[in-house]
Amino acid sequence: MKRNLLSILDLSVTDLERLMADAARLKAERAEGCCPPLLAGRSLAMIFEKPSTRTRVSFEVGMFELGGHPLYLNQSDTQLRRGEAIADTARVLSRYVSAVMIRAYSHRTIEEFAEYATVPVINGLSDREHPCQLLADIFTIRERFGRTDGLIAAWVGDGNNVCNSLILAAGLTGMEVRVATPAAYAPDPAIVERGRAEGGRIVCAKTPEEAIAGADVIFTDTWVSMGTESEEKARQQAFAGYCIDDRLVALASDGAIVMHCLPAHRGEEITDAVLDGPRSAVWDEAENRLHVQKAVLVNLLSTFDEHSFQQMLG
Ligand code: CP
Ligand code: NVA
């Protein structure tokens, strides 16, 4: 594993397989009431510039279950609010904790933090990507289908951070990724190009119907991501016709599942009937954040420790 998880592209196929296997083992062990204290004595700092329910709670509980200590650092309660430099914060936190997870508005903030940190840094959502979400999504798809390779994934909605990670992961997962967005909300062409350069099959569909026809997995997300609230009205108009409802789901393959990273805006990007219906995999998807992130923490910290141990030995 690389030291940091800033992008889904930081993972090789071998890393992904390892994470999926470890997450499955941790999930099964937890179901039997067994939580090995693999990270006893370690701490994880979690910096949040934006709100969170799942990411915060799953990392916090994950660290606790692994015997470690999570620290929730709301940006406004730290000296970051008063202008302390990201680089200085990274240098100092690295002297205290074993790893740092950051949720930031700008991806550049997370990259800068990682440049100056000397411990593993995990992207807990930026304007560019949500790699931890994608890992939980891949795990959930594998639970349902036993594989991702050869499946068709349809993204319908905003070409946002989660969509970017899905596109970038296409080569890694072997899923064909079809993206349907209003023209003004298409994913960055550089992301699509990079996804293709990484071996992904990415199709830019003209309509939600075209994307979903025969798909195995339907993805959507809010039309109004954190930081875009001032555009809410314009976005709601632009996304008319992009709501995942029973009519659209009926176009997918038999046995197709519906995914949403949550929080959902019921009645906007997805109907109650779909979110609460038999095709919905969203509650497992949310739960799997916990198991997969525990695997991420264990693997990043053990790889990193191995490196530092080797460095210490010269
Ligand atoms: N899916 C996700 O990251 O949710 P939160 O914003 O609640 O963390
Ligand atoms: N696209 C959403 C994801 C929230 C987990 C946002 O950025 O707000």
pLDDT band at 309 (very low <50, low <70, confident <90, very high): very low
H/E run at residue 246: helix 246-249
Residue 303: per-residue pLDDT: 73
pLDDT tens sequence across 251-265: 999 999 999 999 999
Rounded mean pLDDT of the chain? 96
Overall fold of domain 8-130+289-313: Rossmann fold (3.40.50)
Is any ligand 2 atom within 6 A of the Cβ of residue 162?
Answer: yes
Taking the C-alpha atoms of residue 235 and residue 81, their distance in angstroms, rounded to an integer, is 30
Stretch 4-16: mean pLDDT, rounded?
98
Smallest-distance ligand from the CA of 285 = 1
Stretch 209-216: mean pLDDT, rounded?
98
Which of 160, 165, 166 best tests ligand 2's pocket when mutated (most atoms within 8 Å of CB)? 160
Is any ligand 2 atom within 6 A of the Cβ of residue 161?
Answer: yes
Q: Which atom of ligand 2 is nearest to the CA of 52?
A: 5
Q: DSSP assignment of 106-126, as one string?
A: SHHHHHHHHHH-SS-EEES--
Distance 113 CA to ligand 1 centre (A): 21
Is any ligand 2 atom within 6 A of the Cβ of residue 160?
Answer: yes
pLDDT tens sequence across 89-128: 999 999 999 999 999 999 999 999 999 999 999 999 999 9
pLDDT band at 311 (very low <50, low <70, confident <90, very high): low
77 pLDDT above the threshold of 80: yes
Residue 225: per-residue pLDDT: 97
Question: Catalytic amino acids?
Answer: 103, 130, 133, 221, 261, 289
Angle (CA) 253 207 233, round 5°? 120
Is any ligand 1 atom within 6 A of the Cβ of residue 125?
Answer: yes
Q: Do the first three CATH levels of 8-130+289-313 and 131-286 match, i.e. the same topology?
A: yes
**pTM for the whole thing?**
0.96
CATH for 131-286, options being 1.10.1040.10, 3.40.50.1370, 3.40.50.800, 3.40.47.10: 3.40.50.1370
Distance 307 CA to ligand 1 centre (A): 31
Residue ranges per domain, the chain? 8-130+289-313, 131-286
Distance 169 CA to ligand 2 centre (A): 18
Contact 148, 175 (CB under 8 A): yes
